[in-house]
């Protein structure tokens, strides 16, 4: 069978599974919609958390970044993995004990202020919409290649699927759907990696294979360094980023992970604080399976790509090249009219343009793996994108229905009314997310990195200080969040989109003007430190929090059991 037939079969089976689970696990109460009733087993929750966290950026784009950036791309691996550890150890148990299952709910109650809650809702919406834009873009990329439709059409299809099972099932449906999606995405990621590792090095373990010796007797990384030198690229194993930018991006991704609302809420779907810690450990194990494999996939894909297309006659290139050309994500421009593909670092003579987001998806085709493996990767990419998109849409829905309507605008709203509001909010969010998926601000992982920077700049200081500094008051928290978020948005708009300097075309020329030499992806670190500084200074210049709030802060750090998370 051909790739298209296999794709329809595998995508059809997996989508039927997701929808079936959503119908089986549909939410009947606001607590089931928000936290799955608080009764999910730690291993199940760990698997769902891993799927929620390993988005299209992890599955589709991360290996592409490492593949093209080499050493520089490793900052994403370090930042996202380290961030999850930071979240699991430093924040999750305390937030779980506090008993508020949304970040705006925690901030509103901890800082005894509806203004703080509104600021947190706005920040949650900005972070979530920025993040979900990358997921919808990932869905469009997968559909454009495997179902041979336009990227925009692929986004529309993804919108319909996510809308169905996120709006119907809420967190209960999403949790069990994400367990299925984790199984699909990890199988889809590992199978081709194992195939290609055996093919290139004879070692079935990709993590060992990419550091091994190829058929020609040369270490794979040495071979890739040599290929890069020949084509004028910097060595794969040495980086071009400044040390301060590497540090800033890593820390921004770490702090951003620890402040992501859709990941934090997962720790409220288990019965006890002890279970929250256990599910964090399980999630880290499930995440590590993919993240330790990413560098190997990146190396395999890069070597295969260069050896397949560089200095080859365009007319003789394999079928996969033409298939990806149709999507517009791969292009050849014969600048010297010799019919030979010149793939080099020099932009004036380079004839090949490659969207780095295609590397994982195209890798099995480049390696000439069986059609069912190629189609399986497509199904895995969809699982990764849709699982995170659903979690983010739930955050958006709960921020609007629970934190805005229930807590501020309509405190007497019934549970049924709140559930309806949540579903309507999710439906509107899907439409907005679809728009950003069709008009993305960059490749998938870059968009997601900006979302992490926004979370680091806004939420992380407010959460950390809220847990560990009982003197932190509402004035300090509100000022810190507004200043941090505003600063990050300004820097992002200026240096990522050129809003103040001539538009996107001017962005490349603005690189020399980066503050402290830090990229927009890393600036969340600076904005976060500014947030911390202003928060602490202003809190010390204004009245201390009420005694009861200070007692709560003292109590949540005492290791003891806690009751169920409450939706009200």
3-class state of residue 261 by DSSP: helix
- pLDDT score of 506: 57
Same domain, 276 and 376: yes
> pLDDT above 70 covers what percent of the chain?
88
27 vs 535, higher pLDDT: 535
Q: Is the pLDDT of residue 33 over 60?
A: no
Tokens 């090249």 — which residue? Answer: 321
pLDDT interval class at 562 (50, 70, 90): very low
pLDDT at 36: 46
pLDDT exceeds cutoff 50 at 547: yes
Looking at the DSSP bridge assignments, the partners of residue 213 are 219
Residue 561 domain-assigned (yes or no): no
Q: Are 377 and 290 within 8 A, CB to CB?
A: no
pLDDT of residue 479: 95
309 shares its domain with 420: no
Residue-wise pLDDT for 99-153, tens only, equals: 766 778 888 889 988 899 888 888 888 887 777 777 777 777 777 777 777 778 8
Q: Where are the alpha helices (DSSP H) in 87-150?
A: 92-98, 103-110, 114-146
Question: What does the DSSP 8-state code read for residue 28?
Answer: -
Query: Among the ranges 29-38, 65-74, 411-420, 539-548, which has the highest mean pLDDT value?
Result: 539-548
The more confidently predicted of residues 560 and 326 is 326
- Report d(CA 395, CA 106) in Å as an integer: 14
> What's the burial of 205, exposed, middle or buried (CB within 10 Å: 0-12/13-18/19+)?
middle
Phi, psi angle pair for 332, to nearest 5°: -125, 125
Q: For position 50, what pLDDT does the model report?
A: 83
311 with 403, same domain: the answer is no
The answer to the question of residue 78 being in a domain is yes
Q: What separation in angstroms does the CA of 247 have from each of 69, 78, 240? A: 16, 10, 13
Virtual CA dihedral for 470, 474, 476, 478, nearest 10 degrees? 140
Choose the weakest-confidence range: 13-27, 119-133, 363-377, 416-430: 13-27
Bridge-partner residues for 352, per DSSP? 332
Quick one: 426 and 405 in the same domain?
yes
Question: For residue 375, what are the contacts with CB-CB under 8 A and spacing of at least 6?
Answer: 3, 6, 7, 9, 10, 11, 146
- Of residues 417 and 568, more confidence is placed in 417
Helix (H) or strand (E) holding 6: helix 3-24
256-296: pLDDT as tens digits: 887 776 677 777 777 777 777 788 888 888 988 988 899 89
How much is the pLDDT for 538? 96
Confidence of residue 564 (pLDDT cuts 50, 70, 90): very low
Query: Is 494 inside any structural domain?
Result: no
The last residue of a domain, from among 425, 440, 455: 440
DSSP letter at 219?
B
Residue 172 domain-assigned (yes or no): yes
- The answer to whether residue 241 scores a pLDDT higher than 90 is no
* Residue 325 in this model has a pLDDT that exceeds 80: yes
How many domains is the chain built from?
A: 2
Has residue 490 been placed in a domain? no
pLDDT of residue 183: 85
**What distance in Å separates the CA atoms of residue 221 and residue 284, rounded to the nearest whole number?**
27
Residues 132 and 190 grouped into a single domain: yes
Confidence check: pLDDT of 466 > 80 = yes
Residue 56 to residue 314: CA distance in whole angstroms? 31
Residues 199 and 101 in one domain: yes
Are both 380 and 347 inside the same structural domain?
no
> At residue 353, what are phi and psi to the nearest 5 degrees?
-115, 130
Q: Is residue 527 part of a domain?
A: no
Q: How far is CA 320 from the centre of its chain?
A: 27
pLDDT of 207: 87
- Among residues 440, 460, 488, the one where a domain terminates is 440
Give the pLDDT confidence score for residue 37 in this predicted structure.
Answer: 45
Q: Which domain holds residue 355?
A: 304-359
Q: What pLDDT sits at residue 534?
A: 96
Question: Residues 173, 105: one domain?
Answer: yes
**Structural contact between residues 256 and 451, judged by C-beta atoms closer than 8 angstroms:** yes
Is 401 or 316 the better-scoring residue by pLDDT? 316
Distance (Å, whole) CA 311 – CA 308: 9
Q: Which of 75-84, 100-109, 267-276, 298-307 has the lowest mean pLDDT?
A: 267-276
Cα 276–Cα 277–Cα 280 angle in degrees, nearest 5: 85
Could you give the 3-state DSSP secondary structure of residue 304? Answer: helix
Taking the C-alpha atoms of residue 566 and residue 274, their distance in angstroms, rounded to an integer, is 17
The residue that leads in pLDDT, 13 or 2, is: 13
What pLDDT digit, counting tens, does each position of 491-505 carry?
988 888 777 666 555
- Asked, for residue 492, whether it belongs to a domain, the answer is no
d(CA 365, CA 304): 10
Tokens 């911390």 identify what position? 532
535, pLDDT greater than 50: yes
DSSP states of 314-330:
GGG--HHHHHHHTTTSE
* pLDDT for 5: 84
Mean pLDDT of 206-233: 82
Residues 330-362 pLDDT 10s: 888 888 888 888 888 888 888 888 888 788 888
Decide if 228 is inside a domain: yes
Are the C-beta atoms of residues 63 and 298 closer than 8 Å to each other? yes
Q: Please report, for the domain that includes residue 436, its CATH number.
A: 1.20.1730.10
Q: Could you read off the pLDDT of 173-186 as tens digits, one per residue?
A: 667 777 887 888 88
- Cα distances (Å, whole numbers) of residue 284 to 60, 135, 258, 267: 19, 21, 13, 13
The domain boundary residue, chosen from 440, 467, 491: 440
Instruction: Tell whether 204 and 320 lie within a shared domain.
Output: no
Mean pLDDT score of the chain: 80
pTM: 0.79
Cα diameter, the chain: 78
> How confident is the model at residue 101, as a pLDDT?
63
Asked if residue 169 and residue 98 are part of one domain, the reply reads yes
Mean of pLDDT values over 390-419: 76
Q: 371 and 315 in one domain?
A: no
Structure confidence at residue 20 as a pLDDT band (50, 70, 90): confident
Q: Which of 1-15, 133-147, 303-317, 494-508 has the lowest mean pLDDT?
A: 494-508
Task: Work out the percent of the chain whose per-residue pLDDT is above 90.
Answer: 12
Answer yes or no: do 348 and 431 share one domain.
Answer: no
**Is 483:518 a contact under the CB 8 Å cutoff?**
no
- Contact between 317 and 291 under an 8 Å Cβ cutoff? The reply is no
């Amino acid at each position: 069978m051909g790739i298209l037939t296999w794709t329809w079969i595998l995508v059809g089976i997996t989508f039927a599974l997701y929808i079936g689970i959503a119908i089986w696990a549909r939410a009947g109460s606001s607590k089931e919609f928000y936290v799955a009733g608080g009764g999910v087993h730690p291993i199940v929750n760990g698997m769902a958390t891993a799927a929620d966290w390993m988005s299209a950026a992890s599955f589709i784009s991360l290996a592409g970044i490492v593949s093209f950036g080499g050493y520089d791309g490793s900052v994403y691996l370090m930042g996202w993995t380290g961030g999850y550890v930071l979240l699991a150890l430093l924040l999750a148990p305390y937030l779980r004990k506090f008993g508020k299952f949304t970040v705006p709910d925690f901030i509103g109650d901890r800082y005894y202020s509806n203004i703080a809650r509104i600021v947190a809702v706005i920040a949650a919406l900005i972070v979530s919409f920025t993040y979900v834009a990358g997921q919808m873009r990932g869905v469009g990329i997968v559909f454009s290649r495997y179902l041979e439709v336009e990227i925009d059409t692929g986004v529309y299809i993804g919108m319909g699927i996510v809308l169905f099972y996120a709006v119907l099932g809420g967190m209960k449906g999403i949790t069990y759907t994400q367990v299925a999606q984790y199984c699909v995405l990890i199988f889809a990621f590992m199978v081709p990696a194992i195939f290609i590792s055996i093919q290139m090095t004879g070692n079935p373990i990709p993590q060992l294979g990419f550091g091994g010796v190829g058929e020609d007797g040369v270490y794979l990384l040495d071979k890739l360094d040599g290929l890069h030198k020949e084509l004028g690229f910097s060595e794969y194993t040495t980086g071009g980023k400044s040390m301060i930018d590497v540090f800033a991006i890593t820390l921004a991704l770490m702090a951003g992970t620890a402040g992501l609302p859709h990941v934090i809420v997962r720790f409220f779907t288990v019965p006890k604080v002890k279970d929250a810690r256990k599910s964090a450990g399980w999630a880290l194990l499930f995440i590590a399976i993919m993240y330790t494999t990413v560098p190997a996939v990146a190396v395999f894909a890069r070597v295969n790509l260069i050896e397949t297309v560089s200095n080859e006659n365009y007319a003789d290139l394999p079928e996969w090249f033409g298939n990806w050309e149709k999507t517009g994500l791969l292009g050849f421009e014969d600048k010297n009219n010799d019919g030979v593909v010149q793939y080099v670092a020099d932009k004036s003579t380079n004839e090949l343009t490659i969207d780095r987001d295609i590397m994982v998806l195209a890798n099995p085709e480049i390696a000439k793996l069986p059609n069912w493996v190629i189609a399986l990767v497509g199904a895995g990419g969809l699982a990764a994108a849709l699982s995170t998109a659903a979690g983010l849409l739930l955050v958006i829905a709960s921020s609007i229905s629970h934190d805005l309507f229930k807590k501020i605008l309509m405190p007497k709203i019934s549970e049924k009314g709140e559930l309806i509001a949540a579903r309507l909010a999710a439906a509107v969010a899907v439409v907005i997310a679809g728009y950003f998926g069709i008009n993305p601000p960059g490749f998938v992982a870059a968009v997601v990195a900006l979302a992490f920077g926004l979370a680091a700049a806004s939420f992380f200081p407010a959460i950390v200080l809220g847990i560990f500094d009982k003197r932190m008051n509402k004035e300090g928290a509100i000022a810190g969040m507004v200043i941090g978020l505003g600063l990050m948005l300004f820097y992002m708009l200026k240096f990522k989109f050129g809003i103040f300097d001539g538009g996107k075309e001017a962005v490349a020329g603005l690189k020399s003007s980066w503050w402290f030499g830090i990229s927009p992806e890393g600036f969340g670190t600076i904005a976060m430190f500014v947030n911390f500084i202003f928060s602490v200074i202003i809190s010390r210049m204004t009245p201390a929090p009420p005694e009861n709030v200070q007692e709560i802060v003292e109590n949540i750090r005492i290791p003891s059991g806690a009751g169920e998370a409450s939706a009200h």
